[in-house]
Amino acid sequence: MLLNYLKIAWKVLLRHPFYTFITLFGITLTLTVLMVLTSFLDHLFGAHYPEGNRNRSLYITMMMQTDSARESVNTGPYSFQFLKRHAKTLKSAERVSIASMFGFSNSYVGGKRIKLNTKFTDADFWHVTNYKFLEGKPYNDQTIAQGERVVVITDDLKKQYFEESTESVIGKTIEIESITYKVMGVVRGGPPTRVYTYADVFFPYTAPKSNYQNAGMRGGYQAIVLAKTPGDRPEIQAEYDNAIRQIPLPAKENGFTFSVIVAKADTYFDGFLRTFLRSDNEPNRLAFYGIASLVLLMFMGLPAINLVNVNVSRMLERASEIGVRKAFGAPSQTLLGQFIIENIFITFIGGVFALGLSYLIIYYINSSGLIAYADLTINWVVFVTSLGVCLLFGLLSGVLPALKMSRLKIVDALKA
């Protein structure tokens, strides 16, 4: 039965190469856009190198200070000392790492300028992230305590600074802003889209210019909290909230008196939304979701309507075939089933094309250097999502016309 359906489906597709082309084109295009998009979102929000632990991590990135009327607001990352006191001490966490937001600097070799992104970190940073050491090893608490002038660099920076050297560069020196550092380790770099871990050079936080000594609440540091299991995270969040509540208020910083502080340990995605919307109030978030889903609906709905439209027209053209089938006693469900299978069939062919096309596009994005260290992949999550969407489209564009068709009276179908 199924094979028979597929045979018919195949014949129908070949009978109208042009409409098959239109339908396939629409499906392929829509799915490709979707797959590249999901792949990109996965790149942004999924757990990937060097944040492979993202699923059991919390990010403490921003503090908001405001007066009780919420008229003046100061927002920004934390000071090292504040995080040391309130985040580092979280008992329910496995480990907590404090690192600065990435800064900018330049290094000069032989009349050439190398742009650098710098980051000051503690030793736990190398446990919380899963940076892979190609050479050497990370600095530890002892190195930090002794204030040694050491750095960990990325393979990319090694290539630029040491002129494609294939030998190990451990123990060699690198000069940044007139200060000489010894290279302690070389890691494989990560993409700049992972802002909490991205840098070209990593310094121990006791290195010059890190400003870890600053008192006060705000500064240039953020913390990544690693939980033992993803399920532990609510407990850690509660503990951190509690720690924040203990802070005496109102307080004063840089001449600004505030009576409310908002400081949260967020999952990556929540933190992203909080930074992106610059607000934690519910209506804003709802508005964001509203607009985002509207745009998505528009972009996904248009091809869907188009598909349904083409399908309806195609089915009307086949009305007489339907009449004959019904006249010979095919029940409505069988007819419905036939159309649905036919549509799923064509959708899956489109899916296969889309897979190939997305692979090409993703390959292009990865190799074009548009995003350094881009690691967009078609992983199984993306693939399964796309197949699911594939199916949904097949049903959406199949059921509506098919229902309309199978309700057609035999006489009408035969007459037309």
Which residues bind to other proteins, rule: CB under 8 A? 18-19, 21-22, 25-26, 29-30, 33, 103-106, 108, 111-113, 177-179, 208-209, 211, 213, 298-299, 301-303, 305-310, 312-314, 316-317
Closest to other proteins by CB, 11 vs 113, is: 113
Closest to other proteins by CB, 104 vs 328, is: 104
Sign of CA dihedral 365, 367, 368, 373: positive
Structure tokens at 2: 């199924």
Q: How far is the CB of 280 from other proteins (least distance, A)?
A: 22
CA pair distance 1, 8, nearest whole angstrom = 11
Q: How far is the CB of 225 from other proteins (least distance, A)?
A: 27
Structure tokens at 214: 């600053």
CA pair distance 79, 249, nearest whole angstrom = 18
Cis bond upstream, residue 208 (ω within 30):
no
For residue 241, give every residue at least 6 positions away whose Cβ sits within 8 Å of its Cβ, in sequence order, or none: 264, 265
Going by C-alpha positions, the residue among 221, 294, 232 that lies closest to residue 267 is 232
CA pair distance 48, 408, nearest whole angstrom = 53
Closest to other proteins by CB, 103 vs 337, is: 103
Q: In this structure, which amino acid lies at residue 13?
A: L
Q: How far is the CB of 258 from other proteins (least distance, A)?
A: 21
Closest to other proteins by CB, 120 vs 126, is: 120
Closest to other proteins by CB, 176 vs 261, is: 176
Neighbours of 88 (CB within 10 A): 18
CA pair distance 46, 199, nearest whole angstrom = 19
Q: How far is the CB of 192 from other proteins (least distance, A)?
A: 12
Q: How far is the CB of 26 from other proteins (least distance, A)?
A: 5
Closest to other proteins by CB, 26 vs 50, is: 26
CA pair distance 352, 382, nearest whole angstrom = 14
Q: How far is the CB of 105 from other proteins (least distance, A)?
A: 6
Closest to other proteins by CB, 17 vs 231, is: 17
Going by C-alpha positions, the residue among 127, 170, 131, 132 that lies closest to residue 151 is 170
Q: How far is the CB of 244 from other proteins (least distance, A)?
A: 27
